[in-house]
Amino acid sequence: MAQRIEMQICLGSSCFSRGNKDVVMFIREYLSKNHLDDKVIFKGARCMGHCSNGPNLNINGVIIEDVALLKIESILEKEFARLI
């Protein structure tokens, strides 16, 4: 059975001020470009309580901190290598 990944990005104000909007746009494009839209459920989330280390991403229950635009591609590649 195909495994689905649930991924949430924090949309709280602190992560917003740390650039989560650009990261959201990058992730959306990445999922579409790699035909992962049906394998990855991507949603926004409320504050995850790790505000000073944001932007924060939660992938299948594991929080990844400091998801800056410069790092997001390598994070996604590592997470999704088995799906692409």
Contacts with ligand FES, residue ranges (CB under 6 A): 10, 12-15, 47-51, 54, 56
Nearest distance from C-beta of residue 83 to ligand FES, angstroms: 26
Cα–Cα distance measured from residue 62 to residue 26, given in angstroms and rounded to the nearest whole number: 20
Main-chain phi, psi angles of 33, to 5 degrees: -60, -35
| Residue 24 Cβ vs ligand FES, minimum distance, rounded to whole Å | 13
Closest to ligand FES by CB, 34 or 58: 58
Length of the chain measured in residues: 84
Pick the closer one to ligand FES by CB: 49 or 61: 49
Minimum distance, C-beta of residue 33 to ligand FES, in the bound complex (Å)? 26
Tell me how far apart the alpha carbons of residues 10 and 50 are, in angstroms, rounded to a whole number.
10
Cα 11 to its chain centre, rounded Å, is 11
